[in-house]
Amino acid sequence: MSRRTGSDLPLVLMALLLTGFGVATVYSAGQTDVPISAVQGAWVRQLQWLAVGLVAFVVTTRLSVRFLEWAALPAYLLAIALLVVTLVFGSGGGTAESMRGWITIGGQRLGQPSEMAKLAVALMLAKVLTAYRTTPRSLMELVKPAAVVFVPWALVMAQPDLGTGLAFIGLFFVMLFWVGVSGPLLLFAASPIISLVLASSTGLWAAWFVLLLVVVWWYKPYVVEGVALVLANVMMGVAAPILWDKLQPHQQDRLLVFLDPSRDPRGSAYQVLQSRIAIGSGGWTGKGFTAGTQKRLAFLPEQHTDFIWAVLGEELGFLGVTAALVLFLMFFLRVIRVATRASDSFASLVAMGLAGSWFVHVVVNVGMTINLMPITGIPLPFFSYGGSFLLACWIAMGMLYRISAEGRGLAGEFPIMST
C-alpha cells in the first residue's frame, strides 16, 4: 500500500549541502604544510564514496517501507553476525588502532559494520515497538526493546567503540520517547546508566539516588519493578569503580581530561587543547578556507575525521560554525517533519531513530571539539572522512526519502492502521 505523494527535495538538498560542506572541509584538512599521507587526497576518496552512497541512496528509495519492515529482522541478525565476526577477526583502523572495528579481507579494509548496525537496529527496534498494542507503561514492557539494542550495543562496546555505543543509546531513548513512553519511565530506564556515571562522586550519586526514590514514590510503578530499579541503581553505584578499572587507560584519560582539560597538556589533553585553540583562534570569520595554521602545521589531531569540525571552526570562524549548525538544525527539523507525516508508525519510528542517532553524533562530536563533551571518537555525519559512515548515511537518506514519499502530503491527515 504505497501512496506516493511526491519527492522530498528539501530533505535531499540539505543532506547534499551538508555532504558538500563536508567534502570541502575534508579537502581543506588535506592542505597542510607538513605532509600527512592519510589526509592527502582523502577528499577524492570521499567523493568516490559519495558516488557509491548516492547510488545506494537511489537504490534504497526503490525499497518500500513494507519491504524495510520485512527486512528488519534479517538485517538485524546479519548486523549482529557481522559485529561478532568483527570482534573476532576485526582489525584496528587508521587513528583507532587499538580498536577492532574494521572488517579486513586480504589487507583491504572493507568497512565498519557498526555503521550498518545502526540502521539495522533502527529498523528492528521500530518493528518491535510497532508490534506493541499500547504504549509501554512499565519497565517490564521495555525489556524486549532494550534487549534489541543491548546485544549490538554490547558487541560495539566490546570493540571498544564508545561513540557508536552512545549513538545506540540515543537512538533507543529517542524511539521510546516517540512511541510515547512517559518521562518518569524514560528516567527509570536511564537511571542505571546515570547511576554509573554519577558514581564517580559519592555525594552526587547520593543526591541522584534520593531524587530517584522521590520519582519512584510519586510515579508508583509495580512493587517488583520499584525494588528492581532501586537495586539496579545501588549495584551500578557499587559496580562503577570496578567498571572504571576495566576501562582502557586511554579511555580513562579521555574522561579525566574531559573533567579537567589542563591535566597533561602533551598527552590525552593535547587533542582537545589544540582543537579549542584552533576553534578559538578562528574568531568571527576564521583564518580563511584552507589557511588554518593549527591544521596546516599539524597541531590539530585527526583533522579529517573526528576533529573535522575544528578545521571548519578555525578556517571559517564563528560564522561558518553557525552556518553549519543552522544547516544541521534545519536538516533535523526536516527529518522530524518526515517522522510526523510518515504513513505509519513503523516508518515514523525509523525516521525518528535515524534522527536520534545522528543527533547524538552531531552533539557529541561538535561538543567535544570545545570540551563540552568527552572525546569518544565519534564521527560527524556527512562531514567526517570515512566510507562506511557516508555510505550508511546515504542509505539512511534513501529510507527517509522513501518514508517521506509514502507519507501523507498534508498535516492532520494521519492515515492508516487503527486498532
Partner 1 sequence: MNLQPNEVHRRGRVAAGIAAACVALLGAAFFRTQVLEHSRFALQSDDNRLNEVPLPAPRGMILDRNGEVIAENVPGYTVSMLGHRSDSLRAALQRLAAVVPLSDSQIATVVRRFRASPARPATIITDASFEQVSVLEEQRSRFPNLVIQAAPKRRYPDGRAVAALVGYTGEINEAELAREAYRDYKPGQQVGRAGLERQYERDLRGDEGSRFVEVDARGRVVRQAGARPDRAPVPGPDLHTTIDLDLQRFVASLFDSTMQGGAVALDPATGAVLALHSAPIYDPNAFIGGIARAEYEALRSDPRTPLYNKALQGAYPPASTFKLATAIIAMERGIVGLDDRMAQPCTGGYLFGSRYFRCWEKDGHGSLTLAQAIEKSCDVYFYQLGLRLGLDRFLTGGTELGFSQRTGIDLPDERQPGWPEATAYFNRLYGRGNWTNAVTLNLAIGQGENDQTVLSMARFYAAIATDGNAVRPHVVDRPVERTRLFDLTPEQLAGLREALHGVVSTRGTAGSAAIRGVEVAGKTGTGQNSHGKDHGWFVGFAPKDDPKIVVAVLVAFGEHGYVAARMATKIMERYLKTTVIAPTNTVGG
* Interface residue list for partner 1 (CB under 8 A): 33-34, 129-135, 174, 177-180, 274, 276-284, 293-294, 297-299, 313, 317-318, 321-322, 325-326, 328-329, 332-333, 336-337, 339-340, 345, 348, 352, 355, 359, 363, 366-367, 370, 372, 411-412, 414, 417-419
In the complex, least distance from residue 115 CB atom to partner 1, rounded to whole angstroms: 22
Query: Of 82 and 128, which CB lies nearer to partner 1 in the complex structure?
Result: 128
In the bound complex, what is the minimum distance in angstroms from residue 127's beta carbon to partner 1?
11
Q: Tell me whether residue 109 or residue 408 sits nearer to partner 1 (CB atom).
A: 408
CB 295 to partner 1: min, Å? 10
Nearer to partner 1, 103 or 175 (CB): 175
Smallest distance from partner 1 to CB 54, Å:
26
Least Cβ distance, residue 270 to partner 1 (angstroms): 10
The count of residues in the chain is 419
Question: Please, which residue, 218 or 284, has the CB nearer to partner 1?
Answer: 284
Work out how close the CB of 132 gets to partner 1 at its nearest, in angstroms, rounded to a whole number.
Answer: 4
- Min dist CB 294 to partner 1, Å, is 6
CA dist., res. 296 & res. 311, Å (int): 10
Taking the least distance from each CB to partner 1, the nearer of 316 and 393 is: 316
Measured from the CB atom, is 57 or 328 closer to partner 1?
328
Residue 287 or 402 having the CB closest to partner 1: 287
